[in-house]
Amino acid sequence: MPIVLKRPVEVERMAEAGARLTEVMDLVAEAVRPGVSALELDRIAREAIEARGARPAFLGLYGFPATICASPNEVVVHGIPSERPLEEGEILSVDMGLFYDGYAADMARTFPVGEVSDEAERLIRVTEESFWAGFDAAQPGARLGDVSAAIQKRVEDAGFWVVREFVGHGIGREMHEDPQVPNFGRPGLGPKLRPGMTLAIEPMVTLFAAPVVVLDDGWTASSGRGNLAAHYENTVAISESGPRLLTGRR
């Protein structure tokens, strides 16, 4: 499919969707603590999305059963929220999307549950930093491979591993549009970035190299025992003057 360029009025509508999603993520972040369950976080997210006149984008998408993907510890993405209380020292990746006024926004964060290990903290921080490296490379006239390579470099310079099995994506009227946005690649390759492109840039990073395996529930994507995973995602628009954040804040 061709890459759909959005008119300025459409980008503004996506920014409205993104602002709502950012508020909801803030509420989820405040609720993460030892003893809370991912299912409780899911309820908080769904109510907050609906209270803002939006609708959860993941619920029912390809048959997914919840509003948030809640991926603890070595789960990279697509974890199904459960009733199990989170424990001190765990990490939890929360990925969610919504539709507002016909447009999608998509966002993910990894949260420490209470005090976590230095290694877990560093994994979370480097994953966020790799997003910003990709964001800064997302200039009009650059190539998509410049974004991918910048992310990969930050991750590998820190000694961590870029997940290959899942990638970012275009976003707009649909949650998943072209192009795919890998978190690894070569500078100077791929489609040229143009004003009006809207992308979900979402590095997924693990402690060490290992294949990501989907468990028997058909969703949970795990990087294997002891291999913590982190995720950081924002929806981004390419504008004439550079990349513009549609979710989150710097």
Contacting positions for Mg ion (CB under 5 A): 106, 200, 202
| Residue written as token pair 């997940």 | 163
Angle of CA points 226, 231, 177, to nearest 5°:
135
Give the separation between CA 54 and CA 48, rounded to whole angstroms. 9
CB of 43 to Mg ion, least distance (A): 22
Distance of CA 163 to the CA centre of its chain: 13
In the bound state with Mg ion, the residue whose beta carbon lies nearer, of 11 and 21, is: 21
Give the separation between CA 120 and CA 126, rounded to whole angstroms. 10
Q: Which pair of structure tokens corresponds to residue 191? A: 């489609």
Q: Which pair of structure tokens corresponds to residue 249? A: 């804040």
CB of 188 to Mg ion, least distance (A): 25
Phi, psi angle pair for 110, to nearest 5°: -110, 125
* Residues 234 and 198 sit within 8 Å (Cβ to Cβ): no
In the bound state with Mg ion, the residue whose beta carbon lies nearer, of 95 and 116, is: 95
Torsion of CA 21, 22, 24, 26, to 10 degrees: 170
CB of 222 to Mg ion, least distance (A): 18
In the bound state with Mg ion, the residue whose beta carbon lies nearer, of 74 and 106, is: 106
In the bound state with Mg ion, the residue whose beta carbon lies nearer, of 105 and 116, is: 105
CB of 235 to Mg ion, least distance (A): 8
CB of 158 to Mg ion, least distance (A): 22
In the bound state with Mg ion, the residue whose beta carbon lies nearer, of 86 and 171, is: 171
